Amino acid sequence: MTPVQLNLFRPTKPHNDELLPIAFVPNMLDMTSSVSAAIGAFHEHMRVQGFSENTIKAFGGDLNIFRKYIGSNKPVAEVTTQDIQSFMHYLRYQRGVPCSMKSYQRRLTSIKVFFNYLYEQGVVESDPAAAVAHQPVIVPLPEILNTAQVERLLKTTREVMSAPKPDARPHLLVTLLLTTGMKKSEAMAIRLGDIDLAHPDQPFVMIRYDDPRRWHKERKLRLPLDFPATYKQYAEQYQPRERIFECTPRNLEYVLSDLAQLAGLVGKVSFEVLRWTSAVRDSASGMRDETLRQKLGLSTITWQDAGGKIKRLAARPL
């Protein structure tokens, strides 16, 4: 594992001043212990050592997939390097569920940390995961809209907004996403009071989280200059009471899908595409990396991957 990966899984804080020794094995594991029992002991080990809740949850989910694949009752000492390699192949090509590069690497890390723990406790004579190297998973760059496509999309939203049966929601949604680069969940969470139109030439929205663990993601984002006028028309049509979008996320996905069809951009308009497009446009216009990272609400670790993709997409042609 890289230093960055190792830092991800160090305990954040202990539950008490004196941690139990590393050699503590909750269920007195030995070479005949089942994979299921070993995972239970490892879960208790992480809890006692003060691993973060997110890390425990992520490792637990990854190891549960591994347990179902390898067999709950299989003795841990019988798990081989080939078993682990086969499992990683299964994740990428046979499971039938998309496995992103981030998920793939994390799941391999979960298995490596798990078997390293068993090896250090003397439960297994050798670490079967040690020989499995982290293989880079090559994925294509994310899809974005080019300048002409953005203009075509906005032309369509304006036409819909001024049609005989006008609808301001498509233009409001698209310009909101293209300007702020916010995620779908963040757009759905916007309350009426989070939008400030006191200064029409400087409208902004506050991105807020109810979960205290995500308060570090809260931020103030500029809105498009035509937002006040669009929002006025939207509010008259939809009369939101508490949140800006009082519908389901799926409903807004349909809005984007219908727009894409009208604009001749079928399959090219989604929350994710508009978020990436916004980020690339900001980068191309000269926004500093740190400012863009904060605007997108990304951690420094996530930015290592996302930032590189954004730079490649925003770069001038060679």
Q: Do 91 and 190 lie in a common domain?
A: no
Per-residue model confidence (pLDDT) at position 82: 96
Name the strand (E) or helix (H) holding 22.
none
Residue 127 lies inside a defined structural domain of this protein: no
* Contact call for residues 51 and 11 (beta carbons, < 8 A): yes
Phi and psi at 249, nearest 5°, equal -55, -40
Mean pLDDT estimate for the chain: 89
Q: Which domain holds residue 172?
A: 147-314
pLDDT tens per residue across span 129-178: 999 987 765 678 999 999 999 999 999 999 999 999 999 999 999 999 99
Q: Do 189 and 286 lie in a common domain?
A: yes
Amino acid identity at 287? M
Q: How far apart are CA 220 and CA 47, in angstroms?
A: 36
Q: Do 220 and 171 lie in a common domain?
A: yes
For the cut 80, the answer to whether the pLDDT of residue 25 exceeds it is no
Per-residue model confidence (pLDDT) at position 301: 67
Q: Do 174 and 74 lie in a common domain?
A: no
Q: Do 64 and 163 lie in a common domain?
A: no
Residue 89 lies inside a defined structural domain of this protein: yes
pLDDT tens per residue across span 69-114: 999 999 999 999 999 999 999 998 899 888 887 888 899 999 999 9
Per-residue model confidence (pLDDT) at position 300: 81
Name the strand (E) or helix (H) holding 293.
helix 289-296
Q: Do 310 and 162 lie in a common domain?
A: yes
Per-residue model confidence (pLDDT) at position 8: 42
Q: How far apart are CA 180 and CA 183, in angstroms?
A: 9
Name the strand (E) or helix (H) holding 206.
strand 204-207
% of the chain residues with pLDDT over 90: 73
For the cut 80, the answer to whether the pLDDT of residue 9 exceeds it is no
Mean pLDDT of 199-204: 94
Residue 292 lies inside a defined structural domain of this protein: yes
Q: Do 151 and 111 lie in a common domain?
A: no
Q: Do 115 and 152 lie in a common domain?
A: no
Most confident of the following: 6-10, 12-16, 139-143: 139-143
Per-residue model confidence (pLDDT) at position 2: 42
Look at the chain and report how many structural domains it folds into. 2
CATH number assigned to the domain comprising residue 37: 1.10.150.130
Q: Do 171 and 293 lie in a common domain?
A: yes
Per-residue model confidence (pLDDT) at position 34: 94
Residue 131 lies inside a defined structural domain of this protein: no
Q: How far apart are CA 255 and CA 226, in angstroms?
A: 20
Q: Do 177 and 82 lie in a common domain?
A: no
Q: Around Cβ 98, how many Cβ atoms within 10 Å?
A: 7
Q: Do 91 and 159 lie in a common domain?
A: no
Mean pLDDT of 232-244: 97
Q: Give the number of residues written for the chain.
A: 318
Domain boundary among 80, 105, 120: 120
DSSP H helical segments within 121-222, as ranges? 147-161, 169-180, 184-188
For the cut 60, the answer to whether the pLDDT of residue 6 exceeds it is no
Lowest mean pLDDT segment, chosen from 83-87, 155-159, 188-192, 214-218 = 214-218
CATH number assigned to the domain comprising residue 310: 1.10.443.10
